[in-house]
Structure 1
């Protein structure tokens, strides 16, 4: 017979989840899908994120010799353009498939308002790019990337070596400038601000709803929501407008750091909640939290290390690409995938154990089904968006952030941001106490709320009386009464 654990004393913090009917649950999911659908439609109607401007093609017939320096000048730029990429692709006269390494030297100068031309870097940068050509066209290569813009115009000088040969007859060299659309930057500022305001309001309302309950009496979901909502505020980045006021890499790095912290906190939340459903009472740090922190901490460390690595190298060398350091990045990619696989297996194990042990437990079964259902919907939508964006090559060349990993239109940006924000808003609403939530002392005599008066331990393990067979209930009850009378 299971031993009854010590009952939780004092007040409890009931959740709105307990009072929602099936109709209300359906309404919650409908509102979630409506909000997400509206934000997707707004994104579809919004501007493109990346705008391209093709420079006049350069051919051997007009230039004379492609091994001489090619001087390129950008149009007028503003801070709303955020970043700048210079790409090029070659057109050849032969239809034969060719693979060739081409060396190039790049020098960058920034044009200030007084028309002076200071060098951004003291020395030119030399790199080798691998070309693959087929059917007269070659794959596009990235010549350089500027993570932030200090100047209104740039003068870029590109010199190619060992380019011309009889096996590689070049018809044209096409350079393309790619940058953020200024219209999208304004949309991004406004929607980030809107999400920041809504998240702040939801955080305050959630904290206000729990004000009359002691923190030790909060459910594990409520404790985690009090952590995730402030982190969601940072994920929306209230400091984002600094990117357009300060010509520095720091605001962009801060934004990436906030996103990594929030996403990893969300991963820990899922592990802790699914495990916490089965582990009641005191949850020790070493046995309960530490393994989860180690797994997710390794994922966070890998993501932050890659981001800092890429940023630092690009600050010293705008022509830097992670492919020139393939061995180190390949090792980091394998490490990330191994740790990610361990996390997925651990999460699936916890979900299966929770479903098998708590499927017949009232209220716990409800909490488990709601969190699993909503999270599953969010993950499916995220996978669909990611697949539509990257296809089957998501784990190949898109591992490190570069031009190919940036959002291509406003719908992709708003879909990801809106999905996570509405997910947390929905959880905050369902996990917050209702307006008429009262203290345990006011409910203990009402049999309709008997389950709310029991602690989590009582629900899982049951009391001694609940463990007795139904057919022996009366006999046991009479026995207890006789013993009481004899006393």
Structure 2
């Protein structure tokens, strides 16, 4: 095989910009088996250590339980409870009501709740002047197992604390006769002040790490013509700014500015990042299988974007509607009070099923088609491996959060931020250009009398991904995979040979 050092500048650039696939040599392509194992082991180790560190942090919430005995034969119960001495760091605050079933029978029935929520500010003389924040009536269903506490019913939720004391007045009406209930519990949940500080520290740590990764990436790729960037590196350029927004540098504003815009912005950037990440996975799976000239936007990108846009808009609209509705009605919950929530839920379940089938089926088909293209197979195996490890981590965390008993720890609460951040960090570091490739590019720039116009002189003389313009009209979209493999074996920069 002709070595890279023996090639002219244009031959080198053409050999690394092939018709079928992007082919900048990335760091992970120089890894042998042992280096691959060490890289993934280090990835798992860093994620696990960070989760262990967060798991020893303070609990997320503090509970304040207030119980009242009631007449089991009455059709109406009135409860009034207060909570005081709150700080800004305690936000958000929520309250729920819970009945206790004393009989050996299962209970499922409807009740009507009228809830008034008051803020309790004090004037200059220290006199409390209640301010009505919400007054609403809704129908709710209570469900109780035999001789057990019923499922809690949320009464109110205040995302930001405008007052240091709150009061709820609850009127519960029922239209069924039973003497099963003798106690009613009001449960207040507030954020632990320590977790607010702890979360802020972690958010800004990840934010600084993301900015450092961006600087490393920019410095590593600054002298390389953009025409040689691989698809993976172009995607990383989109994901990194979204990761910065996902870490939300404006999160602390909610402590000082009582506005629903803070929560809506957090939901917006989180949903945008997650859906862009899914789009990245779908496109990378198909990208390894479909050569560039076969990627028609209406076939390759449009179905993915359309599917994820429907999911994004459905979730974001429902969340925004509920968040704004709670400004006037703190008892409002989309699950019970939004008639279209069932249809949206079914739609989202179908989208999730389609995406799962797409990812698994696409991975299998791509793996089969790439058996003859070793350079692409190596990239695809790496991509599958890091996504598989990440999926396993999320599956374990999901089991701990849903099935485990200890679901109030910081480790579980911050696990999403931790895994997503390190997933992107390790992808970026693996997709950086290799030292040998950068060295050759630097030599080309130094040998060029007009290094700043290298793209125009060489890259622009080629069509997208390296096919000469004069032959573009004669191209057939149906690539011969064996021919591409032969081109790669003859022209691609294989690190093993150079080592």
Please classify the TM superposition score into its range, dividing by the shorter chain length.
0.7 to 0.9
Q: 2:55 corresponds to which residue?
A: 44
Q: CA deviation at 1:460?
A: 7.5
Deviations 1:179-226 (A, max 9, x none): 221111111000000000001110121122111112221110010011
Q: In the superposition, relative to structure 1, how do residues 176 and 465 fare at CA in structure 2: closer, same or farther (>3 Å)?
A: closer
1:345 equivalent to 2:361? Answer no
Q: Does the CA-based 8 Å contact 2:87-2:161 persist in structure 1? A: yes
Which of 135, 139, 145 is the aligned partner of 2:146? 135
Q: Does the CA-based 8 Å contact 1:192-1:237 persist in structure 2? A: yes
TM-score (norm 1): 0.82
Paired residues for 1:72-91 under 5 Å: 72-91=81-100
1:60 equivalent to 2:65? Answer no
Q: Secondary structure at the match of 1:316?
A: coil
Q: In the superposition, relative to structure 1, how do residues 149 and 25 fare at CA in structure 2: closer, same or farther (>3 Å)?
A: same
Which of 9, 20, 25 is the aligned partner of 2:31? 20
1:379 equivalent to 2:391? Answer yes
Q: Which runs of 5+ in 1 are unaligned?
A: 1-5, 393-403, 444-454, 468-487
Distance 1:412 1:371 in 2: 26
Distance 1:200 1:65 in 2: 61
1:179 equivalent to 2:190? Answer yes
Q: In the superposition, relative to structure 1, how do residues 464 and 105 fare at CA in structure 2: closer, same or farther (>3 Å)?
A: closer
Which of 259, 268, 276 is the aligned partner of 2:270? 259
Distance 1:463 1:95 in 2: 74
> Considering only aligned residues, what root-mean-square deviation do their CA atoms show, in Å?
3.0
Q: Does the CA-based 8 Å contact 2:133-2:328 persist in structure 1? A: no
Q: Does the CA-based 8 Å contact 1:73-1:155 persist in structure 2? A: yes
Paired residues for 1:172-211 under 5 Å: 172-211=183-222
Paired residues for 1:96-107 under 5 Å: 96-107=105-116
Q: Secondary structure at the match of 1:156?
A: strand
Q: 2:131 corresponds to which residue?
A: 118
Q: In the superposition, relative to structure 1, how do residues 11 and 348 fare at CA in structure 2: closer, same or farther (>3 Å)?
A: closer
Q: Which moved more, 1:132-141 or 1:97-106?
A: 132-141
Paired residues for 1:39-438 under 5 Å: 39-55=50-66, 57-60=67-70, 67=76, 69-114=78-123, 115-121=128-134, 124-137=135-148, 138-162=150-174, 167-282=178-293, 283-325=295-337, 327-391=339-403, 408-436=408-436, 437-438=438-439
Deviations 1:256-311 (A, max 9, x none): 11110011111111111111112233443222211211111122122212211221
Q: Secondary structure at the match of 1:87?
A: strand
Q: Which runs of 5+ in 2 are unaligned?
A: 1-10, 18-23, 445-464, 469-478, 488-499
Q: 2:490 corresponds to which residue?
A: none
**For this pair of structures, how many residues does the alignment match?**
434
Q: Which moved more, 1:368-377 or 1:144-153?
A: 144-153
Q: In the superposition, relative to structure 1, how do residues 204 and 128 fare at CA in structure 2: closer, same or farther (>3 Å)?
A: same
Distance 2:88 2:75 in 1: 33
Q: CA deviation at 1:33?
A: 1.4
